[in-house]
Structure 1
Amino acid sequence: MATAQYNQDQLRELIQGPSDIEWTYEMRRQCQEILPHLFLGPLQASKSLDTLKSLGITHIVCIRDAKEAFSVRPRFPEHFQYMVLDVQDSEEQNLIRLFPQAKQFIDDAIAKGGCVLVHCNGGISLSPSFVVMYVMQFYNLSWEDALHLVQNRRYCISPNGGFMTQIKEYESIYKAKAAIASHPQQRLFSVRRKRSDEDDEDQVQREGERTKRALVDEDDDDAMQT
C-alpha cells in the first residue's frame, strides 16, 4: 500500500487525534481505530463476535507470547481471517524482523476493503509497537509523531524499552527503503556508471598491455639485428 500523502497541517491534526473523546479506564478493554480500517486493542476486544462485526472487522492480527497460546488465540476463524505471530513479550524480542509480514497482511486486507484488528494480551506494549511502526510508514512520520498519533487514540499504550529502541530504529530503515524506491533510475544510473568506469579501466589496462608487448617485440627485433 502506498504511503498516504498529507500536508503539514493535516498531519498535525492527525497526530493530535480527536479532541472530543474523554479517556476512561474502561476503554483499556476496548479497541480503538488508529487510522481508517485499522484498530488496536487488547485480548478482550477480540472475544466479542458482535462487537467485531459491528466494527466491520474482517482480519485480525493476533500477537502473543507463546506461553499465552491457550488464551490468546483465534476465536472465530470461520468469520475472520487471522494472522498469528508467536513472540516473546520481552525487551530482547526482535520485532523489526517480524513486522514486514504483519504489514503485508494489513496492507492486503485494507486494499481489499477490509478492516483489521491488531491485538495482543493487554494492548499496552506488544501490539502497539507493531501499529506504531505501521503508522510511521503509512503517514511518513518520525517515530515520535507516530507514537503520539497512536497514544492520542489509545492513551494507555506503553511499549517497553526494547520495543521503543526498535521503533526508533525502524524510522531510518523505512526511510532508507523509501529513498531507494523513489529513485530507481538514479540507482540504475549509478550501477551503469560503475560498470562503465570498470570497462574504461579494463580498456586502459588492455591498451597498456598491448603497448608493453609492442615494446618488447621491438627490443627483440633490435637484439636479433645486432
Structure 2
Amino acid sequence: MAKKNKQKGKALAARGAAGTSQKSSTPSDTTSSSIGCILPNFLYLAPVSETGNVNLLQQMGITHIISIGKNPVTREDGITYHKFGMLDNDQADLRAAVDKVCEVLNVIFPPKQRRTDDQPEGVEGDSDEGQVDFEELFEANLDASSAKDEPRVEGNAKVLIHCSAAISRSPAVIAGYLMKSQGMTLRESFEVLVRARDAVSPNIGFLRQLCEREREIFGLADGEKGTVDFEKLTSNVKLAKMLDIS
C-alpha cells in the first residue's frame, strides 16, 4: 500500500511540476517569469508585485488572490481576495495559516482523502482497500475543466497565493496545503514548489512545523522518519540546494 500510494503521490506532484516547465499556447495559462504554477489551471505562486499586474491576472484568468502577510494589496474588480496575516519569523504559527487557506481552497478544489494508515515510503501497510487514486482523480479534474456540466473547480476558479517575495511564507503555506489537502508528502510538496519557483526558502521555524505536520498527517511514530530530514535543513538556503532538487 505504501509503495502504491507513494507512486500516486509522485504522479500528482509530477503534474504540478509539469505545469511549471511547459508553456501553453492558451492565454489563460500564460505566466510571467516570477509566477510559478503549483497545480495546472488552478494554483499559482507569486510575489506581491505581481498582484498589481492587472493585464496578466486577467489573461491568466485569476479569480482569487490569497495574501499571506500584513501588507495591503491593491484590489481589482472581478477578483475575490482573502488575507491571512502572518509574520515571516521562526515563531509564527504556520498551522493556523495553513488550516485557514485549506478551508478556502478546499471549497474551490476538492481535497484528496487520506486514510490514517497512509504512510510515506518506508512505512509498511498491508491493504489498498479504500485508497484514493490521486493520479486518476487529478486527471479527472483536469479533463472536467472543459465540461459544461462538470466543472473542474467552482466556477473554473484560478488562485494566486503570494506573500512579499514568494520565498518563505506563501511557499510554506502551500506546502502545508499540498500535504493536508492534496495527499503529497513533504518532499513531493517541496519538489513542486522548487520547480515552480526555485528561490523558495521557508524560514527554519516553518520548516520545523512542516516536518512536524507531515509526521502528524501520516501518523508516524517516534523514531520513524519523514520524507525530509529536519536536521539537514537550515535558514537562508534555497530548498533546491538543501534537498538537491533540480
TM-score by length of 1: 0.63
Q: Which amino acid aligns with 2:104?
A: F
CA drift of 1:77 comes to: 4.5
**Alpha-carbon distance in 2 for matches of 1:9, 1:144:** 10
CA drift of 1:20 comes to: 5.2
CA drift of 1:175 comes to: 3.3
Q: Secondary structure at the match of 1:7?
A: helix
Change in Cα spacing, 1:142 to 1:61, as seen in structure 2 (3 Å) is same
**Alpha-carbon distance in 1 for matches of 2:9, 2:68:** 33
Q: Secondary structure at the match of 2:201?
A: coil
Q: Is the 8 A contact 1:74 1:82 kept in 2?
A: no
Q: Which amino acid aligns with 2:211?
A: K
Q: Is the 8 A contact 1:42 1:121 kept in 2?
A: yes
Residue number in structure 2 paired with 1:88: 87
Q: Which amino acid aligns with 2:78?
A: H
Change in Cα spacing, 1:47 to 1:167, as seen in structure 2 (3 Å) is same
Given the alignment, which residue of 197, 200, 220 partners 1:154? 197
**Alpha-carbon distance in 2 for matches of 1:19, 1:82:** 24
**Alpha-carbon distance in 2 for matches of 1:31, 1:90:** 23
Q: Which amino acid aligns with 2:64?
A: H
Q: For 1:172-187, what aligned pairs fall within 5 Å after superposition?
A: 172-176=215-219
**Alpha-carbon distance in 1 for matches of 2:53, 2:95:** 30
Residue number in structure 1 paired with 2:35: 31
TM-score by length of 2: 0.58
- The structure with higher relative contact order (CA 8 Å, sep 6+) is 2
Is it true that 1:126 corresponds to 2:125 in the alignment?
no
**Alpha-carbon distance in 1 for matches of 2:181, 2:6:** 9
Change in Cα spacing, 1:75 to 1:16, as seen in structure 2 (3 Å) is closer
**Alpha-carbon distance in 1 for matches of 2:9, 2:94:** 29
CA drift of 1:100 comes to: 1.2
Q: Is the 8 A contact 1:90 1:162 kept in 2?
A: yes
Relative to structure 2, which stretch is displaced further, 129-138 or 158-167?
A: 129-138
Q: Is the 8 A contact 1:62 1:84 kept in 2?
A: yes
Residue number in structure 1 paired with 2:225: none
Query: Aligned pairs, how many?
Result: 162
- Give the percent of matched residue pairs that are identical in Structure 1 and Structure 2: 22
Provide structure 2 residue ranges, at least 5 long, that are not aligned to the other structure. Answer: 24-31, 110-152, 220-246
Relative to structure 2, which stretch is displaced further, 97-106 or 46-55?
A: 97-106
Q: Secondary structure at the match of 2:88?
A: coil
Residue number in structure 2 paired with 1:163: 206
Q: Secondary structure at the match of 2:67?
A: strand
Q: For 1:24-103, what aligned pairs fall within 5 Å after superposition?
A: 27=33, 30-36=34-40, 37-64=42-69, 66=70, 69=71, 73-103=72-102
Q: Is the 8 A contact 2:35 2:46 kept in 1?
A: yes
**Alpha-carbon distance in 1 for matches of 2:208, 2:174:** 15
**Alpha-carbon distance in 1 for matches of 2:10, 2:188:** 13
Give the root-mean-square deviation of aligned CA atoms.
2.7
Bigger radius of gyration = 1
**Alpha-carbon distance in 2 for matches of 1:128, 1:12:** 15
Change in Cα spacing, 1:167 to 1:48, as seen in structure 2 (3 Å) is same
CA drift of 1:32 comes to: 1.2
CA drift of 1:31 comes to: 1.2
Higher share of residues assigned helix? 1
